[in-house]
Structure 1
Amino acid sequence: MLIPLTRQAFEEIVPAIATGAQYLHYWGKSKDLLKRLLISMVALTTFWLIGKLLGPGGETVKLIFDIIAGLYWLWGPVYWASLRNGSYRRLPYSGFWQGEVLDVFITEEIVREEQTVNKRGELVVIENRERLINLEVGDREGFSAIVKAPIRRIYKVINPGDIAQMIVLSKQPDLSRIDKITDVYLPQHNLWLGEYPALRRDIFSRVSEEFTPNEPNRRSKRVYPREIRRRRS
């Protein structure tokens, strides 16, 4: 089932400014916080040196830049989440999609690479791997997409055949080609799964209740890019 959404409805579901869940996503772990604090310190030092070179004058402007730089560790997640939201909102057309879970499987993937130097002075690349749950969802027309997320114990209840819902985005008015998908909602378990919480979940739940008909017969032929895979035989 694929039901087109109005632009107004879509912009309510995917906000321009970061939500609390999106802020927490980019807040990250302690390592991420330390990295932002380091950037703030470097920026403050840079502005201080520029102020010394330029001499007196422009104190108000310098103060504003000092505040912005000094608080980067705090507002940084808002910026990055809003930037991520913009990548969704740049696509002009969207639709509410409902299908089912086709497969659930686990993979171990590289999530980050770090370079360090060992005791002999040699450059070493450390690969940080993480186990991810992969959810393949699809519909009766053959469309399928894989959504990934870090493993959580609550995902054990997910089984093939469960209802899956999400927002799909396209550059085509008739949604004949899907360019981007969001995180997935599993209404039977009231669970969300995805790498990034792109949607306003309270609003999406209302849309789900409104757009889930008794007879899901509104479908259209679609063509999908390579990164969205078809169901494996």
Structure 2
Amino acid sequence: MLIPLRPGELQKLIPAVATSNQFGSALGNPRKILQKIMISSIGGVITLLISQSQVTSRFYSLWLILGVVFILYILWSPIYEASKRNSSLRSYTTAAIFEGIVSDVYTKELIEDRHEQANKRGQLELVENRRLWMIIELEDDDGYLGELKFPIEKQHQFIRTGLIFRCLVFSNNRQFDSIADISDGWLPEIKLWVGEYPFLLRPAFEDLCNMRLNRV
């Protein structure tokens, strides 16, 4: 079942500016956090040192600003990344509440990232970081909708076929002939949110579902 959103409802469900949950998700795993810290600290120190040597130069203020930008990179980078992801869904012309069921559940090991690392002999070799992901397939009375995947965690063991699933779906036409994207979703029977990234303002989405679905 698809229930099209009314004007203004999408903006209330997906914010333009990153929330704390979205910030945490965009911040990434410990490896990505370390990379951001290195960029922030090294870039900040270098630019601030340059600015000190340019005190009498007209470019002093520019170097000082660049130094502050680098130092704050660890903060503004995740905010920018999360806000960009939010805008990718806010840009669709049509969105609707989807209520269906989980038609299939399975796991798959996926590559999260690749990087080169020196081995004991000093040679560079490609290292792949893998992680187990859960993939759930969704359908309603009209048939198959699509799939949602996310890194598997302990609480996901309660997900099974037949559970009610609610999320937002996005399309570029009002008939929803093709689904362009799917948000994170809510499993009300086990009170569990799932998804790779927390697009939705969750209490607001739950309230909207209770209000709109009860009227159907």
Match of 1:194 in 2: 195
Match of 1:148 in 2: 149
Q: How many residues align?
A: 215
- SS of equivalent residue, structure 2 residue 35: helix
Per-residue CA distance 1:138-161 (angstroms, 9 max, x = gap) = 112222311111222222222211
Answer yes or no: is the 8 Å Cα contact 2:51–2:63 preserved in 1. no
State how 1:106-145 maps to structure 2 within 5 Å: 106-145=107-146
Q: Given the two structures, how large is their TM-score scaled by the length of structure 1?
A: 0.84
- SS of equivalent residue, structure 1 residue 143: strand
- SS of equivalent residue, structure 2 residue 85: helix
State how 1:39-78 maps to structure 2 within 5 Å: 39-44=39-44, 45-46=46-47, 48-49=49-50, 52=53, 56-78=57-79
Q: Given the two structures, how large is their TM-score scaled by the length of structure 2?
A: 0.90
**CA distance in structure 1 between the partners assigned to 2:193 and 2:90 by the alignment:** 20
Per-residue CA distance 1:35-61 (angstroms, 9 max, x = gap) = 112111343214644774795124444
**CA distance in structure 2 between the partners assigned to 1:135 and 1:152 by the alignment:** 14
Answer yes or no: is the 8 Å Cα contact 2:51–2:64 preserved in 1. no
- 1:19 paired to 2:15: no
Answer yes or no: is the 8 Å Cα contact 1:7–1:92 preserved in 2. no
Match of 1:5 in 2: 5
Per-residue CA distance 1:181-231 (angstroms, 9 max, x = gap) = 11111011111111111100011011110121476xxxxxxxxxxxxxxxx
**CA distance in structure 1 between the partners assigned to 2:67 and 2:51 by the alignment:** 11
Answer yes or no: is the 8 Å Cα contact 2:51–2:60 preserved in 1. no
Q: CA deviation at 1:125?
A: 0.7
- SS of equivalent residue, structure 1 residue 108: strand
Per-residue CA distance 1:56-108 (angstroms, 9 max, x = gap) = 12444443332221111122211111111111112121111110010111111
- SS of equivalent residue, structure 2 residue 143: coil
Q: Which AA in structure 1 matches 2:210?
A: E
* Larger strand proportion of the pair: 2
Unaligned 5+ runs, structure 2: none
Answer yes or no: is the 8 Å Cα contact 1:7–1:93 preserved in 2. no
**CA distance in structure 2 between the partners assigned to 1:7 and 1:93 by the alignment:** 10
Percent of paired sites with the same residue: 32
Match of 2:92 in 1: 91
Answer yes or no: is the 8 Å Cα contact 2:135–2:147 preserved in 1. yes
Deviates more, 1:33-42 or 1:104-113: 33-42
State how 1:199-218 maps to structure 2 within 5 Å: 199-213=200-214
Q: Which AA in structure 1 matches 2:38?
A: L
**CA distance in structure 1 between the partners assigned to 2:143 and 2:57 by the alignment:** 68
Q: Which AA in structure 2 matches 1:103?
A: D
Unaligned 5+ runs, structure 1: 216-233
Q: Which AA in structure 1 matches 2:204?
A: I
- SS of equivalent residue, structure 1 residue 102: strand
**CA distance in structure 2 between the partners assigned to 1:21 and 1:189 by the alignment:** 21
Q: Which AA in structure 1 matches 2:32?
A: D
**CA distance in structure 1 between the partners assigned to 2:105 and 2:13 by the alignment:** 26
Answer yes or no: is the 8 Å Cα contact 1:99–1:139 preserved in 2. yes
